[in-house]
Amino acid sequence: MKRRTIILAVFILLGFCTILVLKNYNIINFSTSYQTGQKIDSLNGVYVYYNGKMSNVSGRNTVNGYNVGLKYQCVEFVKRYYLKHYNHKMPNSYGHAKDFIHKGLKDGAVNKARNLLQFKNPSKSKPKVGDIIVYDGHVFNKFGHIAIISTVTDSEVEIIQQNTGTTTRRTHQLSFKNNLWTIKDKSILGRLRKIN
């Protein structure tokens, strides 16, 4: 009897932990107060839209023939932000979030597919507001993730992101050691920045 109670308690705990992990990665969503496409945040007048669960797609967003991305995925927000705020169109307008980083480039080199400067993590260049931050894929999201840096101090960066449920902002610790700036998240592949 005692053994069955322990086994039942372990299964309940595992189920609860699984739900928390899936909710954290926006694979399941318990929120019903928002509608897909509803404005939930903004940076410099460019809106972040609610997307429901992570895999939801509401068609393709194009502006004058330029592919902005799948509504309301993370890539769509980043490309729409760069288009509206910087009037920047990427030469390669397609690709999953993790594909925005060209792994063979040196720190500070030009990523020709995006026509942006690319920085490693860690990098000699301190992150700046407006930088694109690119995350690798993982077991719950093989496509990776992409966001915009919205605030930078000497000890942290804040990002703004889309397609993460209602959690549009998140902070990461930032450190400077041995002349290198490191954003403390091992899943970060690097950053991209508008060429002046």
CA distance 101 to 191: 8
**pLDDT tens for each residue of 130-188:** 999 999 999 989 999 999 999 999 999 999 999 999 999 999 999 999 999 999 999 99
pLDDT bracket for residue 32 (50, 70, 90)? low
Average pLDDT over the chain, rounded to whole?
Answer: 89
Is the same domain home to 100 and 129? yes
Q: Which domain holds residue 3?
A: 1-30
Q: Domain total for the chain?
A: 2
Cα 15 to chain centroid distance, Å, stands at 27
**What is the DSSP-derived secondary structure letter of residue 116?**
E
The answer to whether the CB of 50 falls within 8 A of the CB of 162 is no
Is the same domain home to 24 and 75? no
The answer to whether the CB of 143 falls within 8 A of the CB of 98 is yes
Residue 169 pLDDT: 98
Is the same domain home to 23 and 46? no
Is the same domain home to 83 and 134? yes
**Would you say residue 26 has pLDDT above 50?**
no
Is the same domain home to 174 and 88? yes
Cβ neighbors of 45 (< 8 A, separation 6 or more) are 84, 85
Is the same domain home to 89 and 144? yes
The answer to whether the CB of 147 falls within 8 A of the CB of 169 is no
Is the same domain home to 180 and 148? yes
Rg from Cα positions in the chain: 19
